[in-house]
Structure 1
Amino acid sequence: MNLHLDLKLTQAESNKLNISVNPNGSGDFKTITEAINSIPAPNNRRVIVFIATNVYREKIVIPQSLPFVTFLGDATKMPTITGNNKASTIGSDGKKLGTLNSATVAVNADYFMAINVIFQNTASPRIGSNEDQAVALRTSGNKSAFYNCRFHGFQDTLYDHNGLHYFKGCYIQGTVDFIFGHGRSLYEGCTIESIAQNLGFITAQERSSVSMESGFSITNSKVLGSGQVYLGRPWGPYSRVIYSYTNMNNIILPQGWDDTMNAQNSSLTAYYGEYKCSGPGSNLARRPPWANCAICNMDTYLDEEPQ
């Protein structure tokens, strides 16, 4: 792995700015949106936004021109940023938002960080609807990190859209495709909980070509909850997901992986790996022959720049 320091990040961290949000007026701002709007663009310094414990009903977009923003909450009583938009919600332009714009919090900037924050989308899916994708957080910038955060939702909770991302000690909840996108991301020490009543899918990793450097690595984590759940299904023929050293309870279907979503016969090209996992859901006896039980070179995987 290439361990050289990121010069942009080093410079940004040497010139930090702290601002605070509290609806009671004791902070610098009463809303998170006001705090974000106060940051001059383009930004080149680490701006730490201390968010007081409360429920914030805001739709937040961090533009590409504002990298190096940190959301910091109280670990003992985390602030919640909540919304209820879904793909079928009509936006201000009279058009449906679509999945991309349904996010409660959308991060388009690089070097974003969140610590001790709950991201939530309360829009629940309707039976028979195909427009109920409801994103709690979309991360589209590069080199973002999330520590001890919680992502609450149903379908498409966490849109790991694009870039290199790190999730440490996070809780991720949902029903269908609730970790999805074409990010290249490491999930370490996370709790992944299905709240599906019937059939559920954890990941839908998007990788449309063999040259696209993307994929999800889930390691030293826990998979639990309800329903009958697949570890993942492909969103794109070259989908790539690896679980390692992860405990899986009995919600995981014996097949483990599903390849029916992609018409391009992704069972021939997808890479789904499991390595030294544990628990009743980790039994490999009935996994499909195209799923892999192999060692992935994560040093190489993480070192390459996103395309």
Structure 2
Amino acid sequence: MKVSSKPRSGEFPTLQKAINSLPVINNCRVVISISAGTYREKVEIPATMAYITLQGAGADKTIIEWGDTADRVENGRQLGTFGSATFAVNSPYFIAKDITFKNKAPLPPSGALGKQAVALRISADTAAFISCKFIGAQDTLYDHIGRHYFKKCYIEGSPAQAPSTWAEHGAISPGWSLLTPTWTRLSPLEDGMTGGDKSREMTVFFGQYKCSGPGADFGGRVAWSRELTEQQAKPFISIGFIDGHEWLLNS
């Protein structure tokens, strides 16, 4: 199955149309090849469409972008952070390779409300992202639910500053593994993980290991942010941390 910005016979002009052509309940691996181009669309994969693989032509060549923010009103209601995502994955066993996911909403002024602008939201178990880029201004990567694997990925944006949505590069959950990342920070890592409660600093944890890019700089960070040693990082960088031996190698 192929998606092209200049479709020929049998090819799809948009990724969402290609996804919509699949069976409502999909339980076999489907590979969708996306040719080079910028695809300006908002994409969502339903919960029942599992085992989808997206193969781009390179993260600098295949770009999926949109520009929603949390305060945008649709059908009488604000989208919220959850609904602002350019690309939303709700099904398990999803794989993306060589693609940029982008929310092109501009960086909001300091203190502005409702400007969360998610590039990608993953709300399902067992997903893998290889050689992908995630670009946004605020809350770029919403790692919502499940076990996820990121390898050779670039993540750019500012952190979500709340106890339940934390990270240097967006909102993430405990079950994830990130290898050879490069990240760019648009604002400092402040005290969002503690909610301003100093007593929580006794148990809060934020560790970084062999990261590169401007966002990896420790300047201006909270005191409890730390660089991990190889021994400290070992439990977190093994695929065993996300039970990868059960699903990742077969993906």
TM-score, length of structure 2 as denominator length: 0.80
Residue 113 (structure 2) pairs with residue 130 (structure 1): yes
1:126-159 CA-partner distances (Å, limit 9, x unpaired): 3231210000000111110000001110100000
Which moves more between the two structures, 240-249 or 29-38? Answer: 240-249
Residue 37 (structure 2) pairs with residue 54 (structure 1): yes
Measured after TM superposition, the shift of residue 41 of structure 1 is 1.9
The correspondence for 2:228, drawn from 275, 288, 291, is 275
Kept in 1, the 8 Å contact 2:60–2:100? The answer is: no
Indicate the structure (1 or 2) with the bigger Cα radius of gyration: 1
1:10-47 CA-partner distances (Å, limit 9, x unpaired): xxxxxxxxx00113222521110110000002101111
The correspondence for 1:191, drawn from 182, 186, 189, is 182
Name 1:149's counterpart in structure 2: 132
Q: For the residues of structure 1 that align with 2:99 and 2:191, how far apart are their CA atoms?
A: 26
Q: For the residues of structure 2 that align with 1:254 and 1:89, how far apart are their CA atoms?
A: 32
Q: Residues 31 and 235 (structure 1 numbering): CA distance in 2 closer, same or farther, change over 3 Å?
A: farther
Residue 193 (structure 2) pairs with residue 253 (structure 1): no
1:179-210 CA-partner distances (Å, limit 9, x unpaired): 2132511110111112x2xxx1xxxxxxxxxx
Q: Residues 176 and 297 (structure 1 numbering): CA distance in 2 closer, same or farther, change over 3 Å?
A: closer
Structure 2: tracts of 5 or more residues without a match? 161-168, 247-251
Provide the identity percentage. Answer: 33
Q: For the residues of structure 2 that align with 1:246 and 1:46, how far apart are their CA atoms?
A: 33
Q: Which amino acid aligns with 1:276?
A: T
The correspondence for 2:208, drawn from 238, 243, 262, is 243
Q: For the residues of structure 2 that align with 1:72 and 1:239, how far apart are their CA atoms?
A: 38
Residue 100 (structure 2) pairs with residue 118 (structure 1): yes
Q: Residues 248 and 62 (structure 1 numbering): CA distance in 2 closer, same or farther, change over 3 Å?
A: closer
Q: Residues 96 and 53 (structure 1 numbering): CA distance in 2 closer, same or farther, change over 3 Å?
A: same
RMSD of aligned alpha carbons: 2.7
Kept in 2, the 8 Å contact 1:173–1:193? The answer is: yes
Q: For the residues of structure 2 that align with 1:70 and 1:190, how far apart are their CA atoms?
A: 21
Name 2:242's counterpart in structure 1: 302
Name 2:157's counterpart in structure 1: 174
1:95-145 CA-partner distances (Å, limit 9, x unpaired): 100000000000000011100001000112432312100000001111100
Measured after TM superposition, the shift of residue 78 of structure 1 is 2.4
Measured after TM superposition, the shift of residue 295 of structure 1 is 5.2
Q: For the residues of structure 2 that align with 1:273 and 1:302, how far apart are their CA atoms?
A: 22
Measured after TM superposition, the shift of residue 253 of structure 1 is 2.3
1:51-103 CA-partner distances (Å, limit 9, x unpaired): 11111111111010001111111127521110000000111x11100000000
TM-score, length of structure 1 as denominator length: 0.66
Q: Residues 247 and 46 (structure 1 numbering): CA distance in 2 closer, same or farther, change over 3 Å?
A: same
Name 2:193's counterpart in structure 1: 234
The correspondence for 1:65, drawn from 48, 53, 58, is 48
Aligned length: 226
Kept in 2, the 8 Å contact 1:233–1:257? The answer is: no
Give the structure with the larger helix fraction. 2
Structure 1: tracts of 5 or more residues without a match? 1-18, 201-228, 259-271, 278-292
Residue 77 (structure 2) pairs with residue 95 (structure 1): yes
Name 2:4's counterpart in structure 1: 22
Which moves more between the two structures, 240-249 or 37-46? Answer: 240-249
Q: For the residues of structure 1 that align with 2:34 and 2:191, how far apart are their CA atoms?
A: 34
Q: Which amino acid aligns with 2:189?
A: Y
Kept in 1, the 8 Å contact 2:5–2:36? The answer is: no
Kept in 1, the 8 Å contact 2:99–2:133? The answer is: yes
Kept in 2, the 8 Å contact 1:232–1:257? The answer is: no
The correspondence for 1:39, drawn from 18, 22, 33, is 22
Measured after TM superposition, the shift of residue 251 of structure 1 is 3.9
